[in-house]
Amino acid sequence: MLCLCIPAWAQDRQFEESSPDLDFEIPEAEPRKPIEINGYLETAGTAYGRDKGSLLFQQKYIGQDLDDQTYAGDLRAKIEAKAQGDAALAYVRFKAQEQRDAEGWNADGVLEEGFLAFKPTPSMTVEAGKRVMKWGKGYAWNPAAFVSRPKDPDDAEETLEGYGMVDADFIKSFDGPLQTLAFTPVVIPVSEHFNKEWGKPGSYVGAAKVYALLLDTDIDVMFLAGDEAESRAGFDFSKNLTANFEVHGEAAVVFDHEKPLLDSQGNISADRYDAWSFLAGLRYLNSYDTTFILEYYRNGLGYSQTETSEYYSFVEDALAAYQAGNKLPLMKSRRYSQAYSSQNAMEDYLYLRIVQKDPFDILYFSPALTTIANLDDGSLSLSPELLYAPVTNWEFRLKSWFFLGDDDTEYGEKQNDYRVEARIRYYF
């Protein structure tokens, strides 16, 4: 033991001499600052290749003489501020965007999150304010994310806007096969000014999640019910099978879900049923540092191929009626475009993302290829991307999206054939 107390004369000076320009000081090791402000500024240029023959393009732009290509320039900023004490936290995140496209300038800003948190002990947290609470284990989709807005599977890691809520977190750790148990209750009040998506002013939504780390497996069970919201129940899990192989899954049911339908004759109806959704996925890292993320998604809320074909058939007839001077059917079809043309509005999807880290020995360079295939109609989107961050706080991304499919398919009828975006982001 005495030998272990040998003083620093045993230091290896050779290393210090060989690295004279390295700064070994760690200024961040100083006490925490009470207020911190961070964020990013970014600029992006995007080219869109219009598919002027597609149904959805004609549905939106019929009668307009537009170019085959269009361009947009964006300036975006995300700013977050945090004031932190020992047991309390105040947090705000604001996102602003200024876009210049063929139609002119558009400015937009949104408070994504703004809440107060009280953390008297690591076992308990109470929060109130606008909050993003993401549930579920899926990378591209989360059918069990009951209290958050749907994310964009094409940019799954971007921040979202939250809902106004009061929530809490109670955590307990154990020794043995059950290592963690946590309970997260959430209350979402509805008023005239916020959370209107959830019902009439004065109504409430209640949700809860129970998390367990059991036998090295993450397991969540979640519920949601409300005065006007459709009741839901869900489950997810995630587990590492080996050091480079992870599996995950989600299941959710929306009880007595009402799905609006518009048939080929323009008749409006609603289908009521218990909508079950499933997701099964894996994440695999090979010896070449290539990451594969593969997910199958069964969207129980989505439209079948028959239902979608009926809608497309009505849009086709509506376009013909428009040419003949009757605008009403087209206006009717547009009212349903949000439901039928939103992202991944059909039933069966496959997601594959392949990311190669540092290829050709280029550090901080990550090319990736992402595809989302609609298994019902055989159409797909293909997104190659190059991400490079060679300089601290600077990130360069070139990403494109190609939409491939026949007539009357989801990706074949998109308004654009392709989209290419070059983006520069600076973090501060």
Partner 1 sequence: MKRIWLFVLACLLSVTPAQAMDGNEFLRQLDKNLYPPSYEMYRKIIDIQPDGTKKEFTLYTVRKGLDKMVALFLAPPSDKNRSTLRLGDNMWLYIPSVGKPVRITSLQSVTGGIFNNADIMSLDYSAEYNCEDMREEGDTYVLKLKAKSNAVAYDNLVMVADRKLGLPLRIECYAASGMLIKTLYFKEIKEFGPGFHRPSVLETDSPLHKGYKSIMVFAKIQKRDFPDEVFTLNYLPSVEGLRR
| DSSP-assigned letters across all residues of 217-228 | EEEEEEEEEESS
* Shortest distance, position 126 Cβ to partner 1, whole Å: 12
Write out the two tokens for 158.
């971007």
Closest residue by Cα to residue 59 from 261, 315, 257: 315
Q: Does residue 5 bind partner 1 (CB under 8 A)? A: yes
Quick one: which of 246, 263, 348, 421 contacts partner 1 (CB under 8 A)?
A: 246
* Shortest distance, position 114 Cβ to partner 1, whole Å: 15
Closest residue by Cα to residue 292 from 355, 334, 207, 239: 355
Q: Does residue 215 bind partner 1 (CB under 8 A)? A: no
Quick one: which of 75, 96, 132, 350 contacts partner 1 (CB under 8 A)?
A: 132
Write out the two tokens for 172.
């307990």
**How many residues of this chain bind partner 1 (CB under 8 A)?**
86
Quick one: which of 180, 306, 323, 342 contacts partner 1 (CB under 8 A)?
A: 180
Using the minimum distance from each CB to partner 1, give the nearer residue, 230 or 395.
Answer: 395
Write out the two tokens for 346.
């059909």
Closest residue by Cα to residue 402 from 154, 158, 159, 139: 154
Helix (H) or strand (E) holding 322: helix 305-323
Q: Does residue 213 bind partner 1 (CB under 8 A)? A: yes
Residues 329-368 that bind partner 1 (CB under 8 A): 357-358, 361, 363-364, 366
Q: Does residue 393 bind partner 1 (CB under 8 A)? A: yes
Q: Does residue 152 bind partner 1 (CB under 8 A)? A: no
Quick one: which of 64, 121, 265, 269 contacts partner 1 (CB under 8 A)?
A: 121
Residues 273-302 that bind partner 1 (CB under 8 A): 283, 285, 287, 289, 291
Give the single-character DSSP code of 292.
E
Using the minimum distance from each CB to partner 1, give the nearer residue, 50 or 423.
Answer: 423
By three-state DSSP, how is residue 324 classified?
coil
Q: Does residue 35 bind partner 1 (CB under 8 A)? A: no
Q: Does residue 265 bind partner 1 (CB under 8 A)? A: no
373 burial level (CB within 10 Å; 0-12, 13-18, 19+): buried
* Shortest distance, position 275 Cβ to partner 1, whole Å: 23
Q: Does residue 125 bind partner 1 (CB under 8 A)? A: yes
Using the minimum distance from each CB to partner 1, give the nearer residue, 245 or 278.
Answer: 245
Q: Which residue type sits at 28? A: E
C-alpha dihedral sign at 338, 341, 344, 345: positive
* Shortest distance, position 352 Cβ to partner 1, whole Å: 17
Quick one: which of 17, 32, 63, 65 contacts partner 1 (CB under 8 A)?
A: 32
Quick one: which of 243, 265, 270, 325 contacts partner 1 (CB under 8 A)?
A: 243
According to DSSP, the residues that pair with 127 across neighbouring strands are 117, 167
Using the minimum distance from each CB to partner 1, give the nearer residue, 348 or 395.
Answer: 395
* Shortest distance, position 93 Cβ to partner 1, whole Å: 9
Using the minimum distance from each CB to partner 1, give the nearer residue, 336 or 396.
Answer: 396
- Using a CB cutoff of 8 Å and minimum separation of 24, what contacts does 57-60 make? 57/415, 57/416, 58/319, 59/315, 59/318, 59/319, 59/330, 59/333, 59/334, 59/337, 60/334, 60/337, 60/415
* Shortest distance, position 3 Cβ to partner 1, whole Å: 5
Q: Does residue 324 bind partner 1 (CB under 8 A)? A: no
* Shortest distance, position 221 Cβ to partner 1, whole Å: 15
Residue 40's region, left for phi above 0, alpha for psi from -120 to 50, else beta, is: beta
